[in-house]
């Protein structure tokens, strides 16, 4: 209802009020005696109405982090420690029924393959009705009307509530799923690679829409992707993940202008620019570590261009002491021994 | 050898696939429609476009995985699209090699790296049997898998995605090809190692004079590595020219739309793009007229009735557009 009249809702809720707070969140995948820590002691906050981006390579734990927030981890994954505070209340201890209410209503999620998440033998509108009626008392007719309004909101003709998923293009199906994620006006929408499977023009259209809806309705977004250039464009703040840890976190502009962690710098050096001179780029040599047996000290040190045995004292620290994420400038957090050691920078 | 000995020339290449329709009148997808280009030795040509634009079909036609409906693929002065002789085919395949998108699917999981590289060396009799091992190590060195002896003994599952793609490239190089067709070679790799594969392609071009057809949907990587660029839309080349020039001053509205869509944090507040109305089914039994007309902000009357031709509007840069690259004299047949 409110969705249908955005004018009522235009008061932007972009404040620094904390919506979600992760405290030392640790998620493990355990098979036999082999334990993999996919998320290792992550501290992170998401404020109301902001777009927080998480970037990193495959296997860095970014998807696991999103799934943990939504509480949809399945064995062998489990939360091994830490808290997920949503509006101050820990969701890790919630019962099934509490979680059922929490999902969609408070937090909803759009997956990478969301366009394949729709039931192929059900009309799009009926899938909206099912979801809404699972959460609130609403007549089928009213729910269908609202489904139409939601489709309208994401730029799809209302009449398409009668369409089957196969009658829609991939981009349209993805928009349907985004509309569904917004149906109950959640405070947080987790988007995990929402546009990765789509063509670049369709991706742009969907991002434009997400951004304008977010400004209109004021929900917060956790945007997970491997595409740092895309993230720097859409997000307010960005957290860079490597091997289960957050290694740098700052406003998107700051990450773009002055990335401090060598991994962030390496990522920035992995996306060729579309304008300006073409210089040979280096990417990042090597591969991410095996999380069942992460390197001692800084997890990035085997790939770090600034980790050399010649600099003995620093090298010892890099290879034995785990760097702690700490604030180096207002709002700019880095976990790197080089940053502490100002003389070497 | 003649001056054109090293180049691959594609002339009016066309491939239709039947889809749906009745038995009497089957609809046809014009997956590739009248595509012509030349691959010069020692250059990288990028072929870009959205999914369904026909770019992978062009790659497969060049690799002779499909028979073209029409048109010619001329290599060393011979049309190889038509040849059926095994000897000519073998020769062509040893000169024109392909690298696929998925390095997980293109290597046999039960065989070592050595096996993958030894096979083409034997089949095409590149070196005497006694020298095969030495040649394998050379190849692995070339693609940056060192120490070569260690990698030669490995199985695909022991390698990362980037390393597997390097093996696939080494295998393509084993037969000493002059042309390599690389179909989305980096899109399944992790971001941090993509640049390494692009750099390898550039090095092979510079040091060995290879020519590449680099098929991709990623404009930024095309700009990074390619000398020339071909932009495909709905089966046709809609723009071609030097990569830097085309991306700096694109002529075709589709190229402009693509460019405006690519994420680039260097651009501050960007103009929103117009949400498209047309669909990518433009290649199914296309009527006369421009295939982009339904999505084009510049469309004029003639666009829906007359198919635009590729016109060289700037030096070396051509586009298929009545508005930005008009034919020198549009003949008085626009009413047809």
CATH number of residue A278's parent domain: 3.40.50.300
* B266: contact with A, CB 8 A cutoff: yes
Query: Please, which residues have CB within 8 angstroms of residue B61's CB and are 6 or more apart in sequence?
Result: B13, B15, B32, B68, B73, B81
Residue A243 belongs to some domain of the structure: yes
The predicted pLDDT at position B86 comes to 81
DSSP state, residue A212: H
The predicted pLDDT at position A322 comes to 93
The predicted pLDDT at position A2 comes to 40
Do A181 and A192 fall within a single domain? no
Strands, sheet with A18-31, edge to edge from the N-terminal-most edge strand: A34-47, A18-31, A77-86, A89-90
Question: Which phi and psi angles does B132 have, rounded to 5°?
Answer: -60, -45
Displacement of CA B324 from its chain's centroid (Å):
25
Q: Do the beta carbons of residue A303 and residue A279 sit within 8 Å?
A: no
Residue A172 banded pLDDT, cuts 50, 70, 90: confident
* A87: contact with B, CB 8 A cutoff: no
Do A195 and A76 fall within a single domain? yes
Which 3 state secondary structure label does DSSP give B14?
Answer: strand
For helices A124-135 and A96-105, angle between their N-to-C axes, nearest 10 degrees: 130
The predicted pLDDT at position B269 comes to 66
In tens, the pLDDT along A228-257 reads: 999 999 999 999 999 999 999 999 999 999
* Chain B residues whose beta carbon lies within 8 Å of the beta carbon of residue A250: none
A169, A199, A230: residue with CB nearest B263: A230
Do A37 and A88 fall within a single domain? yes
In tens, the pLDDT along A124-162 reads: 999 999 999 988 899 999 999 999 999 988 888 888 999
* Chain A residues whose beta carbon lies within 8 Å of the beta carbon of residue B273: 201, 204-205, 208
Do A231 and A94 fall within a single domain? yes
Across the interface, do B264 and A201 touch by the CB < 8 Å criterion? no
The predicted pLDDT at position B23 comes to 63
- Count of domains forming chain A: 2
| Polymer length of chain A | 345
Residue A309 belongs to some domain of the structure: no
In tens, the pLDDT along B141-196 reads: 888 888 888 899 999 988 888 889 899 999 999 998 999 999 998 888 888 888 98
Do A49 and A169 fall within a single domain? no
Do A193 and A181 fall within a single domain? no
Query: Please, which residues have CB within 8 angstroms of residue B226's CB and are 6 or more apart in sequence?
Result: B44, B45, B46, B214, B243
* B276: contact with A, CB 8 A cutoff: yes
In tens, the pLDDT along A73-125 reads: 888 899 999 999 999 889 988 888 888 888 988 999 998 776 678 999 999 99
Residue A340 belongs to some domain of the structure: no
Residue A344 belongs to some domain of the structure: no
Do A93 and A145 fall within a single domain? no
Do A72 and A217 fall within a single domain? yes
**Degrees to nearest 5, angle at CA A330 with A327 and A336:** 30
Across the interface, do B261 and A267 touch by the CB < 8 Å criterion? no
Which 3 state secondary structure label does DSSP give B62?
Answer: helix
Distance between CA atoms of B19 and A316, rounded to whole angstroms?
A: 65
Domains of chain B as residue ranges with CATH: 8-251 (3.40.50.300)
Q: Over its length of 336 residues, how does chain B's per-residue pLDDT go in tens digits?
A: 344 455 799 999 999 988 766 666 677 888 899 999 999 999 999 999 988 889 989 999 998 888 899 999 998 888 876 777 888 888 888 889 999 888 878 899 999 999 999 999 998 888 998 999 999 999 998 888 888 888 999 999 888 888 898 999 999 999 989 999 999 988 888 888 889 889 999 999 999 999 999 999 999 999 999 999 999 999 999 999 999 999 999 999 999 999 999 888 777 666 777 665 545 556 778 888 899 988 888 999 999 999 999 999 999 999 999 999 998 865 444 444
Do A225 and A162 fall within a single domain? no
Do A257 and A162 fall within a single domain? no
Across the interface, do A273 and B194 touch by the CB < 8 Å criterion? no
Instruction: Residue window 136-165, chain B: list those with CB within 8 Å of chain A.
Output: 160, 162
pTM: 0.87
Residue A332 belongs to some domain of the structure: no
**How close B212 comes to chain A (CA, Å)?**
18
Residue A58 banded pLDDT, cuts 50, 70, 90: confident
Strands, sheet with B179-183, edge to edge from the N-terminal-most edge strand: B96-99, B179-183, B211-216, B44-48, B228-233, B236-242, B317-319, B311-314
Of A164, A185, A206, which residue is a domain's last? A185
Instruction: Residue window 176-215, chain B: list those with CB within 8 Å of chain A.
Output: 190-196, 198-199
Q: Do the beta carbons of residue A225 and residue A267 sit within 8 Å?
A: no
Q: Do the beta carbons of residue A259 and residue A85 sit within 8 Å?
A: no
Do A78 and A219 fall within a single domain? yes
Nearest CA in chain B to A197: B51
Residue A315 belongs to some domain of the structure: no
Residue A215 belongs to some domain of the structure: yes
H/E element holding B180? strand B179-183
Mean pLDDT across A318-330: 93
The predicted pLDDT at position B126 comes to 87
Tokens of B165: 């793609």
Q: What proportion of chain B, given as a percentage, has pLDDT over 90?
A: 51
Tokens of A196: 């990765």
In tens, the pLDDT along A273-320 reads: 888 888 999 888 888 888 888 899 999 999 999 999 998 899 999 999
Q: Where are the beta strands (DSSP E) in B187-332?
A: 211-216, 228-233, 236-242, 311-314, 317-319
Tokens of B187: 């899109």
Q: How is A278-333 classified by DSSP, letter by letter?
A: --------S-PPPTTSPPSSSTTGGG-TT--TTSHHHHHHHHHSPPPPEEEETTEE
* A269: contact with B, CB 8 A cutoff: yes
Tokens of B40: 């010069």
B303 CB neighbour count, 10 Å cutoff: 20
Q: Can you name the residues that pair with A51 across neighbouring β-strands?
A: A221
ipTM entry: 0.83
- Domain range for A24: 18-106+188-295
Residue A249 belongs to some domain of the structure: yes
Distance between CA atoms of A326 and A137, rounded to whole angstroms?
A: 47
H/E element holding A84? strand A77-86
Q: Do the beta carbons of residue B229 and residue B222 sit within 8 Å?
A: yes
pLDDT at A30 over 60: yes
Do A71 and A54 fall within a single domain? yes
């Amino acid at each position: 209802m409110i969705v249908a009249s955005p004018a009522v809702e235009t008061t932007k809720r972009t404040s620094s009020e904390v919506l979600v707070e992760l405290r030392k969140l640790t998620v493990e995948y355990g098979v036999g005696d082999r334990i993999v820590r996919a998320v290792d002691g992550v501290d992170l906050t998401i404020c109301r109405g902001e777009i927080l981006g998480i970037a990193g390579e495959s296997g860095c734990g970014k998807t696991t982090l999103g799934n943990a927030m939504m509480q949809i981890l399945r064995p062998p994954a489990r939360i091994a420690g830490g808290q997920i505070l949503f509006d101050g209340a820990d969701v890790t201890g919630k019962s099934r029924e509490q979680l059922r209410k929490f999902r969609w209503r408070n937090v909803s999620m759009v997956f990478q393959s969301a366009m394949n998440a729709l039931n192929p033998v059900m009309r799009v509108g009926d899938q909206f009705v099912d979801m809404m009626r699972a959460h609130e008392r609403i007549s089928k007719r009213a729910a269908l009307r609202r489904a139409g309004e939601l489709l309208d909101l994401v730029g799809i003709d209302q009449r398409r509530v009668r369409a089957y998923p196969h009658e829609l293009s991939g981009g349209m199906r993805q928009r349907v799923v985004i509309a569904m994620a917004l149906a109950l006006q959640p405070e947080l929408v987790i988007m995990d690679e929402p546009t990765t499977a789509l063509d670049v023009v369709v991706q742009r259209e969907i991002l434009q829409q997400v951004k304008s809806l977010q400004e209109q309705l004021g929900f917060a977004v956790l945007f997970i992707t491997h595409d740092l250039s895309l993230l720097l464009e859409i997000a307010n703040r960005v957290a860079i993940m490597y091997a289960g840890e957050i290694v740098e976190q700052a406003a998107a502009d700051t990450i773009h202008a002055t990335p401090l962690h060598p991994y962030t710098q390496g990522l920035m050096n992995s996306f060729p620019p579309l304008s300006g001179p073409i210089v040979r780029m280096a990417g990042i040599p090597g591969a991410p570590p095996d999380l069942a047996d992460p390197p001692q000290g800084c997890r990035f040190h085997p790939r770090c261009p600034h980790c050399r045995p010649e600099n003995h004292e620093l090298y010892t620290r890099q290879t034995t002491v785990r760097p702690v994420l700490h604030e180096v400038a207002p709002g700019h957090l880095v976990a790197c021994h080089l940053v502490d050691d100002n003389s070497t920078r | 050898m003649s001056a054109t000995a090293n180049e691959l020339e594609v002339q009016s290449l066309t491939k239709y696939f039947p889809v749906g329709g009745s038995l009497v009148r089957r609809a046809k997808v014009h997956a590739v429609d009248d595509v012509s280009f030349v691959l010069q030795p020692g250059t990288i040509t990028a072929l870009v476009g959205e999914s369904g634009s026909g770019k992978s079909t062009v790659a497969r036609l060049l690799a002779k995985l499909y028979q073209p409906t029409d048109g010619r693929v001329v290599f060393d002065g011979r049309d190889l699209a038509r040849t059926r002789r095994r000897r000519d085919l073998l020769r062509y395949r040893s000169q024109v090699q392909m690298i696929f998108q998925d390095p997980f699917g293109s290597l046999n999981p039960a065989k070592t790296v050595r096996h993958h590289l030894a096979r083409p060396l034997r089949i095409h009799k590149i070196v005497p049997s006694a020298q095969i091992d030495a040649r394998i190590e050379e190849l692995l060195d070339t693609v940056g898998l060192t120490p070569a002896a260690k990698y030669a003994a490995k199985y695909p599952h022991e390698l990362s995605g980037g390393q597997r793609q390097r093996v696939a490239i080494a295998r393509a190089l084993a037969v000493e090809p002059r042309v390599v067709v690389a179909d989305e070679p980096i899109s399944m790799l992790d971001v941090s190692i993509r640049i390494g594969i692009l750099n390898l392609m550039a090095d092979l071009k510079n040091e060995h004079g290879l020519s590449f057809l680099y098929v991709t949907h990623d404009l930024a990587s095309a700009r990074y590595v390619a000398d020339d660029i071909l932009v495909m839309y709905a089966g046709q080349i809609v723009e071609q020219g030097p990569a830097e020039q085309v991306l700096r001053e694109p002529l075709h509205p589709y190229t402009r739309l693509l460019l405006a869509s690519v994420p680039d944090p260097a651009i501050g507040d960007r103009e929103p793009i117009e949400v498209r109305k047309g669909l990518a089914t433009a290649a199914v039994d296309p009527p006369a007229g421009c295939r982009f007309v339904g999505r084009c902000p510049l469309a004029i009357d003639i666009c829906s009735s007359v198919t635009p031709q590729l016109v060289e509007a700037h030096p070396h840069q051509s586009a298929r557009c009545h508005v930005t690259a008009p034919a020198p004299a549009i003949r008085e047949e626009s009413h047809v």
